[in-house]
Amino acid sequence: MKAAVMTGLIGGIMGLLISFMLNYFLIPMPDSIFANAFGNGISGLMSGFMGGFIGLLMYLKKNVVKEK
């Protein structure tokens, strides 16, 4: 459980950083509500994917590699 919390926290921080960089540098200020929702959706998709992916990699690195 402790490993899941730690890797989830690391993945969440990485997701936050990816979302922040996408919104600040790549996605301009929206002109409409739809553009805002679309930009937030893309940002959420990327940050969620990166957070989960990096969390999984950290879990595998800490637990699975040690067993071999």
Query: How far apart are the C-alpha atoms of 59 and 67, rounded to whole Å?
Result: 12
pLDDT(59) > 60: yes
More confident residue, 60 or 28: 60
pLDDT(32) > 80: yes
Number of structural domains, the chain?
Answer: 1
Q: Work out the average pLDDT over 45-58.
A: 79
The boundaries of the domain holding residue 52 are 2-67
Q: For position 43, what pLDDT does the model report?
A: 77
Judge contact between 27 and 39, C-beta under 8 A.
Answer: yes
CA distances from 16 to 21, 52, 60, 62, 66 (A): 9, 12, 21, 22, 28
Q: For position 1, what pLDDT does the model report?
A: 65
